[in-house]
Structure 1
Amino acid sequence: MTLTLDEVRRIAHLARIEIDAREAAEVHAKLEAIFTMIDELQAVDTTGVEPMSHAQDVVLTMREDRVTETDRHAEYQRVAPAVEDGLYLVPRVVE
């Protein structure tokens, strides 16, 4: 996969990120390096390799499922700027 400098600028614009020419060139170079690495990984033949969830054999120790902390809900609500019916009130962000 390749990415042009214009595409980097367009993505920055869509993300509302102000980026100058030098920064765009740096980001472009870094993204190209990432894409090259991805291409190398995809080229590796993994036929016969068993999928695994960890790079090493890991055995997770199970513990008893019990509450270890006290309920501090009321304490947190006392210091909140605005609370109603047990919910935190926050300023409207999206109209």
Structure 2
Amino acid sequence: MIIDKEAIEKIAHLARLEMDEKSEEKMLKSMNEIVEWVAKLEEVDTEGVAPLTHMTQEQSVWREDKAEYTLSHEDALKNAPKKDEDFFRVPKVLD
């Protein structure tokens, strides 16, 4: 598969990109290099190779996800620049 200038223009239109002639040529070259690289990957014999779900053999390296109270309400508000009784005060962003 070879990507031509027409395909680049269509992709740019769909992505709402404005490209000049120099950018189109650079993108055309880059995308054709990517397609050639993928074609090389298709040549590799993967018979008998199990698919990977992770790049390492490690499983579940994260801590258990459990709810716990780590910060009290008072401690959370202690260093707030602005507060109103039990709440943080923030600038209004919507009218």
Q: Which category of TM-score, normalised to the shorter sequence, fits these structures?
A: 0.5 to 0.7
1:79 is matched with 91
Root-mean-square deviation (CA, aligned residues, Å) is 2.6
The separation in 2 between residues aligned to 1:70 and 1:2, in whole angstroms, is 61
Q: Which residue of 1 aligns with 2:67?
A: 66
Q: TM-score, normalised by structure 1?
A: 0.66
Q: Distance in 2 between matches of 1:75 and 1:18?
A: 43
TM-score by length of 2: 0.66
Residue of structure 1 equivalent to 2:42: 42
Aligned residues with identical type, % of pairs: 26
Count of residues in Structure 1 that have an aligned counterpart in Structure 2: 81
Larger radius of gyration: 2
Unaligned runs of 5+ in 1: 83-88, 90-95
1:66 partner letter:
A
Q: 2:26 is matched with which residue?
A: 26
Q: Which runs of 5+ in 2 are unaligned?
A: 77-86
Q: Deviations over 1:10-64 (max 9, x none)?
A: 2212322111111000000000011111111122111100112122211223423
